[in-house]
């Protein structure tokens, strides 16, 4: 088995002093590590019996695409304002330093479908929580969330309002 935790590159003081950045690039560049990451995320995702994945921009897309293929289901992209064509559904939310808005293309998630949130990392949980709320807004049933990395000291998983799982845990 591949030791994924040792494959994550840790970059101090990025993007600002005092932050330890967990870089997934070292997983993506190594096909064995990337395959193992997807295999392990898929194990967690199967518990939720999702019908669709909702991937958070942008690193969530990197994991949701192969995960969707592995699970035999589709995925939708949850994006920042102005990145999706056509009619969209928007959801604004507050962050520690201001506010932001997420969007989902209208009509791609069937009402009542079991939707699972996917991202590379969860820290404080603000964007993931907003994604759960956006899914509910379009009539989906948000059943949970999965992440490659959880920064446990920041408590994001407890803020989501749905069950959540992560492959790797690091201090926050």
Please indicate, yes or no, if residue 25 is contained in any of the structural domains: no
Q: pLDDT tens for residues 98-143?
A: 899 999 999 999 999 999 999 999 999 999 999 999 999 999 999 9
Q: Which of 35, 39, 57, 59 is catalytic?
A: 59
CATH number at residue 146: 3.40.50.2020
Please indicate, yes or no, if residue 3 is contained in any of the structural domains: no
Active site annotation includes 96: yes
Please indicate, yes or no, if residue 70 is contained in any of the structural domains: yes
List Cα–Cα distances, 152 to 37, 70, 111, 115, 155, in angstroms.
Answer: 19, 27, 32, 24, 6
Q: Can you give the C-alpha Rg of the chain in angstroms?
A: 15
Mean pLDDT of the chain: 97
Q: Which residue has the tokens 């603000």?
A: 126
pTM over 0.85, yes/no = yes
Q: What ranges make up the beta strands (E) of the chain?
A: 9-12, 20-23, 52-56, 74-80, 88-95, 98-105, 114-122, 141-151, 164-170
Q: What percent of the chain has pLDDT over 90?
A: 96
Structural domain span for residue 98:
49-170
- Look at residue 133 and give its three-state secondary structure: helix
Please indicate, yes or no, if residue 84 is contained in any of the structural domains: yes
| 172 pLDDT more than 90 | no
Active site annotation includes 35: no
Please indicate, yes or no, if residue 35 is contained in any of the structural domains: no
Q: Are 128 and 117 in contact (CB under 8 A)?
A: yes
Please indicate, yes or no, if residue 19 is contained in any of the structural domains: no
φ/ψ of 109, rounded to 5, equals: -105, 120
Please indicate, yes or no, if residue 93 is contained in any of the structural domains: yes
Total of domains in the chain = 1
Residue 1: predicted pLDDT: 82
The burial of 148, by beta-carbon neighbours within 10 Å (0-12 exposed, 13-18 middle, 19 or more buried), is given as: buried
Residue 164: predicted pLDDT: 98
Please indicate, yes or no, if residue 151 is contained in any of the structural domains: yes
Q: pLDDT tens for residues 81-99?
A: 999 999 999 999 998 778 9
């Amino acid at each position: 088995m591949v030791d994924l935790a040792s494959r994550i590159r840790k970059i101090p003081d990025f993007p600002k002093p005092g932050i330890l950045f967990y870089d997934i690039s070292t997983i993506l560049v190594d096909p064995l590590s990337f395959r193992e990451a997807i295999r392990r995320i898929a194990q967690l995702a199967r518990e939720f019996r999702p019908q669709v994945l909702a991937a958070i921009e942008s690193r969530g897309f990197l994991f949701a695409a192969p995960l969707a293929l592995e699970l035999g289901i589709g995925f939708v992209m949850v994006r920042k304002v102005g990145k999706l064509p056509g009619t969209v559904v928007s959801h604004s939310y507050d962050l520690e330093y201001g506010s932001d808005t997420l969007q989902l293309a209208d009509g791609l998630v069937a009402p009542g479908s079991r939707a699972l949130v996917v991202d590379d990392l969860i820290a404080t949980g603000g964007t993931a929580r907003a994604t759960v709320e956006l899914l509910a807004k379009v009539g989906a049933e948000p059943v949970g969330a999965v992440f490659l990395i959880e920064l446990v000291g920041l408590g994001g998983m407890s803020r989501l309002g749905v069950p959540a799982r992560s492959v790797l845990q690091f201090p926050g």
